[in-house]
Structure 1
């Protein structure tokens, strides 16, 4: 009888220790420290600044500003910035760039849907590794994960020209 009670006490103590070890603070996990927070809660770990939802897109001497959405794909995209890439022409309405694959690269998370109509200045992800910048409005049957939209796309088609073009992306 004594050993049964001892075993029960040991199990009870083990249970209580397990419960206490798993208990989360009522306030949730700690938040990262933000310096100069402009309302965005995503930290830039390299410089301790919040990551902006504004993107600068440079094509030659022309600069455009885009507003990024808040989703997992955009968060993964921001982690790759700044970047300068050669974008290829496709279909006379878009430029595309295929992200490299490998241990420090690979696909981005997706949540694709069919937008019905692509708008001039849409920045999207096709599949999980193709960045697409659209410079014409047109109907589409394809699905994309939207990253954002150029705020004032006037002149985008002219700036991108025909054929491949070098484009720089960085956060403001």
Structure 2
């Protein structure tokens, strides 16, 4: 009887443990990451390669994700064009697009959301944040800044809204949903 009980206990522990390790501090029911229906979502294959590496991509008239460094942000009825930084963080972020992010308000100057996965980090202190900067704080917190201010914090640049006129009014004063797409 005892060996059967021990076997069942070990079997339960082996199957239950993955469920416990899948949760982390970023699980927040108010934070959502949605891929729009009908769209396609590119993702990294955890080898460091992003879509387009070592293959031809004719889906966008010869422009690969590495050469097309723009994305759009749709916020309510407003659309903004942004230029992606030329770094691994921006490439990894772009590979996740399109995605709709429910972003929370912080400090009356930024909207933020924690992603379910980490992105490559190469953080530095910009000294001054500019209106329209899209940054990564830590390894998984995407931040959209809608006001210029000085900072001592370190970020990894994802990109920048090309013409941020109207960005502050588009994001408003509370949480907002932002659709990022290529």
TM-score (norm 2): 0.67
Matched, 1:140 2:156: no
The structure having more radius of gyration, on CA atoms, is 1
Cα deviation for residue 75 of structure 1 reads 1.2
Q: How many residue pairs align between the two structures?
A: 128
Cα deviation for residue 41 of structure 1 reads 6.2
Indicate the SS of the match to 2:134: strand
Matched, 1:84 2:107: no
Indicate the SS of the match to 1:89: strand
Q: 1:37 aligns with which of 59, 62, 74?
A: 62
Distance 2:167 2:157 in 1: 18
- For the aligned residue pairs, the C-alpha RMSD in angstroms reads 1.5
Q: Where does structure 1 lack aligned partners over 5 or more consecutive residues?
A: 1-29, 43-50, 101-105
Q: 1:41 to 1:84 in 2, by over 3 A?
A: closer
Distance 2:159 2:72 in 1: 12
Distance 2:65 2:93 in 1: 16
Q: Where does structure 2 lack aligned partners over 5 or more consecutive residues?
A: 1-52
TM-score (norm 1): 0.71
Distance 2:71 2:156 in 1: 17
Q: Which residue of 2 aligns with 1:60?
A: 76
Distance 2:93 2:113 in 1: 13
Indicate the SS of the match to 2:73: strand
